[in-house]
A and B are shown apart, each in its own frame.
Chain A
């Protein structure tokens, strides 16, 4: 059964980062940085 409403579009501009590759790289870099910060937080001698 197919949705019959508005036809799909996939040509919207990619905001801020310009390309999908740049966004994906930013997500992965951000995730690794957050994990590193959490490891630091966890081990910090308070």
Chain B
């Protein structure tokens, strides 16, 4: 990075952290710390809901995925608008009128304490793992910039975020998110515009899309009914619907955002705001990744995006690497030549030549990846997350590169802060104040809430150390969530939709549903987008069956 980039990055981070501290001042009670005094307007909550979901992973992981795999990941968001409407009609009024801190408190009122405890534990498990990956992605960016190891950058990012969250509470999180989202939107348009502008003269958006289409990267709609194929229209629409239902309806990191609304209307509007904007925004981000892919037809992309691994490989395989590098460069030259034909309107005749060259580029890369994996004792290598930050640093003008990196950082920190805040809330309200010390003073409760925030931050760092080996960051976060979302959603469905459901049915149904999901994860080829639906259906069916057997256990709704 240039000196100007560093100035922009440091100035931005100082400003946003200072603003967060200022906005979060005056927390006296845990109502303030966890629910921002329930005084927030829909647009602020709506932007915060959006910012909590859009972390640095959205830039780093999604754009990298679009570069490597195309835009089919977009279907993951297709179920979101329908899920938002469903939530506004069902659980949001229940939560709001029950005046709870956590979504899981409602389950004790509806069923019993053990069902609440089980569901809260599932949330802590899934979100606790995901937050580690959320921390890993921006730390990865920092490691690329500074040339440090990922361990150091994870500790730096995690540590500074923990400090910020401990002070600010939910009000600070929400107001910081409002500012972040404005800048994130600016960053999205900036990156899209720059990627488009940096295509060669005479090479327009239509030519770029033609190339991307030839490789299948524009393919979004896959109508295959297969349960094992990734990102089909049905898995996105149906599976994605249930994932979004679970994420926005049962995940405390989101529920806590809209519980801060000043009225039920404000909370509902905050979710519908996201229903309108989420899919177009993801489309733009994915398209930016595709444009970066086309951009690298006319600029030389590295053989491996992870510079540290490339250096290790160069030292360990001095005889084999040059041959792979030569093969790669020859394939790139052939691909550039074929891509030029698209500009001259010779797409039909050049397509075959172009595809052969592109396949050769990918084959050379696979060969290099094979060498890295051999060098690392068979450990899986994935550099998808390095693509976008590498592009930004190498190709954006001084100042703008720093701004985009700053946006990635600050967005990540605000997302992390919301997640640390929600993990601390669930631990504090569902366990500490429920089991250990129900009648603590405000000062004591605030102190414990802050200590729990620190503890969750530390745990996130531990998970982040392992996150690099899991693959694409965005997919990993969603995969971790899908391990627990099904059973949580199933228990909430029993609570809201099945008056006949008993406490015993909900508890044992939840455990059985989790067993079904773990069986799917380890023993079946079913794609993770289906886990939530199958898990929720299993809980609902088993829970109802047990309730029918033990009708006397029924708890009135």
Contact = CB atoms under 8 A, between A and B. Distances in A.
Interface stretch (B30-38, B180-188, B497-505, B545-553): B30-38
B82 A31 contact: yes
Most chain B C-beta atoms within 10 Å of own C-beta, residue among A30, A39, A42: A42
B81 A10 contact: no
A42 B219 contact: yes
Interface in B123-147: none
A10 B263 contact: yes
A3 B100 CA distance: 6
A41 B205 CA distance: 13
B206 interface: yes
Nearest to B70: A42
A37 B193 CA distance: 21
B88 A24 contact: yes
Interface stretch (B269-277, B459-467, B532-540): B269-277
Contacts of A13: 265
Contacts of B219: 42
Contact of A12 (B35, B99, B263): B263
A22 B415 CA distance: 32
Interface in B360-418: none
B35 A3 contact: yes
A15 to B, nearest CB: 7
Interface in A1-46: 1-6, 8-15, 20, 23-24, 27-28, 30-31, 34-35, 38-39, 41-44, 46
A13 to B, nearest CB: 8
B429 interface: yes
Contacts of B259: 3
Given A2-B99, A2-B100, A46-B210, A28 B265 contact: no
Contacts of B433: 1
A42 B263 contact: no
Interface in B184-215: 206-207, 209-210, 213
B283 interface: yes
B220 A42 contact: yes
A9 to B, nearest CB: 4
B434 A1 contact: yes
A24 B210 CA distance: 37
Contacts of A11: 263, 265
B57 interface: no
Given A30-B276, A42-B221, A1 B101 contact: yes
Given A35-B78, A38-B283, A6 B210 contact: no
B265 A27 contact: no
B419 interface: no
A41 B220 CA distance: 9
Nearest to B34: A3
Given A31-B279, A38-B283, A39-B220, A5 B37 contact: yes
Nearest to A2: B99
Contacts of A34: 279-280
Interface residues of B, number: 50
Interface string B21-57: 0000000010110010111000000000000000000
Contact of A28 (B29, B85, B283): B85
B263 A8 contact: yes
B82 A28 contact: yes
Contacts of A10: 93, 96-97, 263-265
Nearest to B236: A35
A21 to B, nearest CB: 10
B74 interface: yes
A12 B74 CA distance: 34
B105 A1 contact: yes
Contacts of B32: 5
Contacts of B101: 1, 3
A37 to B, nearest CB: 9
Contacts of B209: 44, 46
A44 B218 CA distance: 10
B262 interface: yes
Contact of A24 (B85, B207, B218, B263): B85
A30 B213 CA distance: 26
Interface string B72-111: 0010001001101100110001001101110001000000
Nearest to B269: A15
A44 B211 CA distance: 13
B504 to A, nearest CB: 24
B221 A41 contact: no
A43 B216 CA distance: 10
- The 9 tightest CB contacts between A and B, nearest first, are A10-B264, A12-B265, A31-B81, A46-B210, A9-B263, A5-B31, A46-B209, A42-B220, A27-B275
Given A5-B39, A12-B263, A28-B82, 9 more contacts: A9-B265, A10-B264, A11-B265, A14-B265, A24-B88, A24-B272, A27-B85, A35-B279, A39-B221
26 contacts: A1-B105, A1-B433, A3-B100, A3-B101, A6-B38, A9-B263, A12-B263, A12-B265, A12-B266, A13-B265, A24-B89, A27-B84, A27-B275, A28-B81, A30-B275, A30-B276, A34-B279, A34-B280, A35-B78, A38-B221, A41-B220, A42-B71, A42-B218, A42-B220, A46-B206, A46-B210
